[in-house]
Amino acid sequence: MSKRDYYEVLGVDKSASDSDIKGAYRKKAMKYHPDRNPGDKEAEEKFKEVSEAYEILSDEQKRSQYDQFGHEGVNGNGGYSGFGGGGFDDIFSDIFDMFGGGGFSSSGRRNGPQMGPNLKVNIHLSFEEAVFGVEKDIKINRNEECSKCNGKGAQDESDIHTCDKCNGTGQVRVNQRTPFGVMQSVRTCDKCHGEGKTISKPCSNCSGKGTEKRTRKIHLNIPAGVDNGSILPLRGEGELGTNGGSRGDLLVYISVDSHPFFTRENNDIFSEIPITFIQATLGDEIEIPSLDEKKKAIGRVKFTIPEGTQPNKIFRLKGKGVSNPNGYGKGDQYVQIKIEVPTDLNEEQKDILRKFGEVTGSDATKETKGFWDKIKDYFS
């Protein structure tokens, strides 16, 4: 069975803010939580459904991919990973608190390995670079392990000590009296701040943080077919994780220049081609701008104008559009004919046109004849 739209699952519209999405999820999760609906398989499935919807829509990158490509945009590419994924700590803490705690603590989850924050960078591409793909080098500033202490945060290894308050666990147990009796919870150690260790002599270079800001050059291989507003994720190129967690991602936001004679809609391109009255009447073979993938540039192709081509006629050149960046075929090129009416004619040219008008009379075209027939019928 096909999945429901994630916005529909949470009961919000596509313009909903992060706080709206979070609030909607809390209400749904409370309603369908298994502890509130023991043995109810339907409630259990709905709980999983709203949890999946929240995991996608609460993540900026995943939400953007979902908005562009639907469920296919997140399947197998960082999509729903069940209840083990991050981003649910505060909400699950609320839910478990509602049922008495049971020793659950979101801080315990936070003291484990945490993925580093994502970084964002904006790059500007020309129309040709976006259409044909391009390789670029960019520079970003991000946290790296301290070059002096190698991330330890201390002047020397001997300056690192196991925290004597939590015995190196990073957590302390706290007893709390509630209307249901004494409940025990686990909290982050306030002495070592969850690190499980203390430092007597911090590193003079990083002041004990273990990291320092450095500039790093990143090589980008931008695929052909990216469009204005596309987001290119680079896995593991974001900020450092904590407690042994992996790096975050680098999100490359792409903006694209307009083009002098092409406009683009998805993978199709559109252009207007001016021709003369004579070319439209008698037909002609001309060269028009088109995409040349081999040369990765704007080239030319031969185009035949049929006899009697009418103004604003649109011709389709199949497969002459932009390649889909995900490898799903190519778009088309659409050519709209614009017929230029001659101006500043000399007397000889005007006489030729007058003679042409006398020869053709009102039978010049079917459309003209049909129009005057309608006028005649209307006034008769």
Span 259-290, pLDDT tens digits: 999 999 999 999 999 999 889 999 999 999 99
Residue 189 assigned as binding residue:
yes
Q: Is 206 annotated as a binding residue?
A: yes
Residues near 380 by Cβ (< 8 Å), separated by ≥ 6? none
Does some domain include residue 195?
no
Is 195 annotated to bind a ligand? Reply is no
The runs of H, that is alpha helices, within 58-188 are 60-69, 89-98, 106-110, 127-132
- Please check if 149 is assigned to a binding site: yes
Total-model pTM: 0.61
375 annotated binding-site participant: no
Hey, how many other C-beta atoms are within 10 angstroms of the C-beta on 52?
Answer: 20
Contact indicator for 245, 114 with CB cutoff of 8 Å: yes
Which pLDDT belongs to residue 102?
41
Rounding to the nearest 10 degrees, give the CA dihedral for residues 290, 291, 292, 294.
Answer: -160
Among residues 37, 67, 99, which one ends one of the domains? Answer: 99
Q: What is the pLDDT of residue 60?
A: 86
CATH number at residue 290: 2.60.260.20
**CATH code, domain carrying 73:** 1.10.287.110
143 lies in a domain? Answer: no
Is 36 within any annotated ligand binding site? no
Q: Is residue 362 part of a domain?
A: yes
* pLDDT score of 84: 36
In the prediction, which pLDDT does 82 show?
Answer: 41
Q: Is residue 34 part of a domain?
A: yes
pLDDT of residue 90: 47
Residue 199 lies in a domain: no
Tell whether 311 is covered by a domain.
yes
Q: What local confidence, expressed as pLDDT, does residue 137 receive?
A: 95
Residue 114 domain flag: no
Looking at the domain assignment, is residue 162 inside a domain? no
Q: Which residues of 130-158 are buried (b: 16+ CB within 10 A; e: fewer)?
A: bbbbbeeeeebebbebbeebebbbbbeee
CA distance 365 to 222: 51
**For the chain, which ranges sit under pLDDT 70?**
1-2, 75-112, 178-181, 361-372, 375, 378-380
Q: Which of 34, 68, 99 is the last residue of a domain?
A: 99
Count structural domains, the chain. Answer: 2
Amino acid 181: pLDDT: 66
**Domain residues for 58?**
1-99
71: annotated binding-site residue?
Answer: no
- What's the pLDDT tens digit per position in 152-192? 889 998 889 999 989 888 888 887 776 656 777 788 888 88
